[in-house]
Chain A
Amino acid sequence: MAPEIETMPIWVDFAGGLQTLFSNKPNHMISLPIFNPSDFSPANVGFLISHLVKNHLKHPQTEFFVQEDGHLTPGILVLINDVDWELEGEEEYELKPGDNVIFVSTMHGG
């Protein structure tokens, strides 16, 4: 029997059109493993992004969300608990249960 992986709830929201990549749902409750299984480091936003791509990104045009190097596509803002992720350490921010992460694609139309 595989050992149970401990997870924590993370609230993930998509806006500015990104929701169309994630089953057209703007709000998701993600059960995120508390450790990154590849190196047992605590789950951070970088790990959340790869988890989302692997498990929740259903759309074939993945380049709207991540680049080939696995990093987020430029032009997407990330807010952790409503605060710009650049204030929180970007991908390195270690997630806590109940954190809210918002991905917003920049709009240009008018």
Chain B
Amino acid sequence: MQLNSTEDSRPNGVAIATNGEHNGFSRRLTDEEFDRYSRQMIVPGMGREAQLRLINSKVLIIGGGGLGCPAAQYVAGAGVGTIGIIDGDVVEPSNLHRQVGHATSRIGMKKVDSLITHLRDLNPLPTYTPYTYPISPENAADIISQYDLVLDCTDNPATRYLISDVCVLLCKPLVSAASIQKSGQLIVLNCPPTPQGKVDKKYPPCYRCCFRKPPPANTQLSCGEAGIMGPVVGLMGVAQAGEAIKILASALHLPSSIPSNPEDDPHNLIQPTLLIYSYDLTAAPGPFTFRALKMAPRKKNCFACGENSPQTLTLEGVKSGNPNYIQFCGIQTPKIVLPEQDRITASAYHAARQNGQLQNHILLDTREKEHFSFGSIDGAVNVPFGKLLMKAATIKRHGGDAEEILPVEISEDQKDVPPIFVVCRRGLDSQEAVEKLKELGVDRGGKRKIVDIIGGMKAWKEEVDPSFPFI
């Protein structure tokens, strides 16, 4: 699809969506559609017209993972007529506990192809469009412009800002969800879709209105690092499908659905609800399991949708790298890099052990105890990184024997100062741990070596023990 100037492309994108709506309305439901969708069509508020709206709608699901799988299942099941799915990843075994649209037999396949295989089996009627590469500033507008509504099922802040910006520019509603470890969040944005720069009344916010700045890179966690419970992310994905179906069935995705006085909007999306789900493995469901938080409407000073936003954000700009999303969200860089003499490769450490150079030494493993429980290097003692930092902070504040951080008895004999090796998951925390231990004087003024194992247990698996169960 061709995108002209910013001004032209907005009505363009909308025109594609509304054409379908007009053409598809005069027809009857086929027998197959009638059978398949009967149980949802008889729900009060649905009916034939709402079902035809779903059939004539086009939904783009960005991300075919933990959110995208359940979202796509319900969007497809409900009979949305055109479903695009975009993701560049392939199915891995570690996905399957939560990404239930894939299958063991499809490990190694592109996620998009795997998920569409599953969806076709569930409902062959929709048109499925695969995009087997990641969404990017270059391709985002071309793809998003072909759809009525977008589900953000991605896993990183840079992509989330990109998707929201392009949805604002193309006047598309966005259903955004995210999940990590034991929490999930969900919000409907830019719905009813409102042109950029329109702030004369109260209008719905975009992602940037709600989350103006991303968290600093060193505080961002991924599911790979922090873990994720399947039902938590699954629930958020299902809720995304629920919101999408609601918006399409009631035609709220059309720009014409902006009420003349949005403040009286009965759907109340002008101040959308941020749903927060907190899941606790040790507590019964309580009053704080779900929280519905009322967000502010569109912000006048928003970079993407506010008063002066047509000067700050354009489709041409996005395409040519402005704003720079990667820079805006901070690149994940190691905080410190130790000098070479304080580091050793996993293979060199292993060799030194094998040939007897390391009779007496301490091996600290700073991974979380859940990770440690699956396996460790012989003789390693587990001091989780958070605990180590906490002990270090206490000693710094209140004093005390820094060597108590070490979980092993050290003889008072000054000659016996065994070196310390520190290993973590991927080699970042261990460097910080080495630095902390030195700061506290555990190196006894340089008499004791404290060494980081480069690349952590990941390197150990790659260089020394391929059978090691690395998580």
Q: Answer yes or no: are A and B bound together in one complex.
A: yes
Binding site for B on A (CB under 8 A): 13, 15-17, 26-27, 58-61, 63-64, 73-77, 79, 82-84, 86-87, 102, 104-110
Q: Is the CB of A108 within 8 A of B278?
A: no
Query: What are the residues of chain B within 8 A of A79 when measuring CB–CB?
Result: 293-294
Supposing A15-B276, A15-B278 touch, asked if A110 and B296 sit within 8 A by C-beta, the answer is no
Q: Is the CB of A108 within 8 A of B177?
A: no
In Å, the complex CA distance between A63 and B155 comes to 22
CB distance from B344 to the nearest CB of A (A): 27
Q: Is the CB of B390 within 8 A of A60?
A: yes
How many residue pairs at the A-B interface have CB separations less than 8 Å? 125
In Å, the complex CA distance between A67 and B218 comes to 12
Is the C-beta of B180 less than 8 angstroms from some C-beta in chain A? yes
User: Interface readout for B220-259 with A: 1 if CB under 8 Å, 0 if not?
Assistant: 1111001010000100000000000000000000000000
Q: Is the CB of B218 within 8 A of A63?
A: yes
Query: What are the residues of chain A within 8 A of B100 when measuring CB–CB?
Result: none
Query: What are the residues of chain A within 8 A of B67 when measuring CB–CB?
Result: 110
Which of B178, B210, B226 is in CB contact (< 8 Å) with A110? B178
Interface residues on B, range: 35 or more
Q: Is the CB of A109 within 8 A of B155?
A: yes
In Å, the complex CA distance between A15 and B292 comes to 12
Is the C-beta of B181 less than 8 angstroms from some C-beta in chain A? yes
CB distance from A92 to the nearest CB of B (A): 16
CB distance from A14 to the nearest CB of B (A): 9
Known: A110-B67, A110-B178. 13 other contacts (CB 8 A): A16-B276, A17-B180, A73-B215, A75-B214, A75-B216, A86-B296, A106-B211, A107-B179, A109-B155, A109-B221, A109-B226, A109-B233, A110-B68
CB distance from B365 to the nearest CB of A (A): 19
Query: What are the residues of chain B within 8 A of A102 when measuring CB–CB?
Result: 291, 293
User: Interface readout for B183-212 with A: 1 if CB under 8 Å, 0 if not?
Assistant: 111000000000000000000000000111
Q: Is the CB of B66 within 8 A of A110?
A: yes
Is the C-beta of B143 less than 8 angstroms from some C-beta in chain A? no
Q: Is the CB of B183 within 8 A of A15?
A: yes
Is the C-beta of B405 less than 8 angstroms from some C-beta in chain A? no
What secondary structure prevails in chain B residues at the interface with A?
Answer: mixed
Is the C-beta of B160 less than 8 angstroms from some C-beta in chain A? yes
CB distance from B254 to the nearest CB of A (A): 27
Query: What are the residues of chain B within 8 A of A82 when measuring CB–CB?
Result: 291-294
In Å, the complex CA distance between A109 and B220 comes to 9
**Interface members, chain B 80-122 (any A CB < 8 Å):** none
List 5 tightest A-B contacts by C-beta distance, closest first: A75-B215, A74-B213, A109-B180, A107-B178, A60-B389
Which of A59, A75, A110 is in CB contact (< 8 Å) with B177? A110
Which of B156, B212, B233, B386 is in CB contact (< 8 Å) with A108? B156
Binding site for A on B (CB under 8 A): 63, 65-68, 153-157, 160, 177-185, 210-216, 218-223, 226, 228, 233, 274, 276, 278, 280, 288, 291-296, 299, 386, 389-390, 392-393
Q: Is the CB of B223 within 8 A of A109?
A: yes
CB distance from A68 to the nearest CB of B (A): 11
CB distance from B35 to the nearest CB of A (A): 34
Supposing A60-B389, A61-B386 touch, asked if A108 and B293 sit within 8 A by C-beta, the answer is no
Query: What are the residues of chain B within 8 A of A61 when measuring CB–CB?
Result: 386, 389
CB distance from A108 to the nearest CB of B (A): 5
Q: Is the CB of B216 within 8 A of A84?
A: no
CB distance from A98 to the nearest CB of B (A): 16
Q: Is the CB of A27 within 8 A of B288?
A: yes
Query: What are the residues of chain A within 8 A of B293 when measuring CB–CB?
Result: 77, 79, 82-84, 102, 104
Query: What are the residues of chain A within 8 A of B182 when measuring CB–CB?
Result: 17
Supposing A17-B180, A83-B294, A109-B228 touch, asked if A75 and B211 sit within 8 A by C-beta, the answer is yes
Q: Is the CB of B288 within 8 A of A108?
A: no
Q: Is the CB of A107 within 8 A of B212?
A: no
16 pairs, CB–CB < 8 Å, chain A vs chain B:
A15-B276, A15-B291, A16-B185, A26-B278, A26-B288, A58-B390, A63-B216, A74-B213, A75-B219, A79-B294, A104-B276, A108-B156, A108-B178, A109-B181, A110-B66, A110-B223
Query: What are the residues of chain B within 8 A of A75 when measuring CB–CB?
Result: 211, 213-216, 219
Query: Closest B-chain residue to A88, C-beta based?
Result: B296
Query: What are the residues of chain A within 8 A of B211 when measuring CB–CB?
Result: 75, 77, 106
